[in-house]
A = this chain, B = another copy of it.
Amino acid sequence: MATAEWLRQRLGYECRDPALMEAAMTHRSAGGRNNERLEFLGDGVLNCVVAHLLYREFPLATEGELSRLRAGVVREESLAAVATSLSLGDHLTLGPGELRSGGFRRQSILADALEALFGAVYLDGGFEKAGEVIEKLMLPRIAELPDAAELKDPKTRLQEYLQARGLSLPNYALESAQGEAHNQVFTASCEVDSLGLRAHGQGQSRRRAEQEAAQRVLDAIRSSMSAEK
């Protein structure tokens, strides 16, 4: 299958310039136009798109946490795994030496070719298209990151947990606000009818009180899960 057709079937991407896609799949060992410059470009596009995905998905993460998360997403093993899941190796053009030594399975060659492909899609279809392709491939990886779950705020995590199970969303209510204007303590409740759970939280803003209440509901869900199993 030609690279352009494979892209259409696997990624839903209709390319304008099939030769550019072939160049992205051509390792330097094959001679001629190869994918090294496209890899440089694609690495930049990938890092930018992943930065935006992480910025959006982890609204409470610090710059340092975002940087660590990104390093996990764009590292060679991760990219090679994505390339393998796409059977990218079947489309590589390699020189005779690399062919003999099984270069189409080498992690670095696969990861570099995937970056080159992102660069080619960027040149061919623009930033938005490249972003769609990268999001489709990398967002599942982001969800799997070891520290990812801990970085989302409790309200978001609770909402996602309930939505994933088709359950009704929680109700938040402000129970009280005490103290002087510049130093108030808020108390909020979080109730999940479908699970019969309710908890309170306190904080120096309504938002923080709600986050704490959501965290306590998550804790209750977690301990009921441990008890079950």
Residues of A at the B interface (CB closer than 8 Å) are 17, 32-33, 36-37, 39-41, 43-45, 47-52, 55, 61-63, 66-67, 122-124, 127-128, 131, 164-166, 228-229
- Looking at A32, A67, A123, A124, which has the most chain B CB atoms within 10 Å of its CB? A123
Contact partners of A50 in chain B: CB under 8 A: 44
CB-based contact A44/B47 at 8 Å: yes
Which one of B17, B41, B47, B165 contacts A52 once the chains associate, using CB atoms below 8 Å? B41
Q: How far is the CB of A217 from chain B (nearest CB, A)?
A: 19
If A17-B228, A228-B17 touch, whether A44 touches B51 (CB-CB below 8 Å) is yes
Q: How far is the CB of A163 from chain B (nearest CB, A)?
A: 10
Cβ-closest chain B residue relative to A43: B51
Compute how far the CA of A55 lies from the CA of B36 in the bound complex, rounded to whole angstroms: 11
Contact partners of A37 in chain B: CB under 8 A: 55, 61-63, 66
Cβ-closest chain B residue relative to A127: B127
Compute how far the CA of A44 lies from the CA of B123 in the bound complex, rounded to whole angstroms: 18
20 A-B residue contacts at CB 8 Å? A32-B164, A32-B165, A32-B166, A36-B63, A37-B55, A37-B62, A39-B63, A40-B51, A40-B55, A40-B67, A41-B52, A41-B55, A43-B51, A44-B49, A44-B52, A45-B48, A45-B51, A48-B48, A124-B229, A127-B127
Q: How far is the CB of A202 from chain B (nearest CB, A)?
A: 21
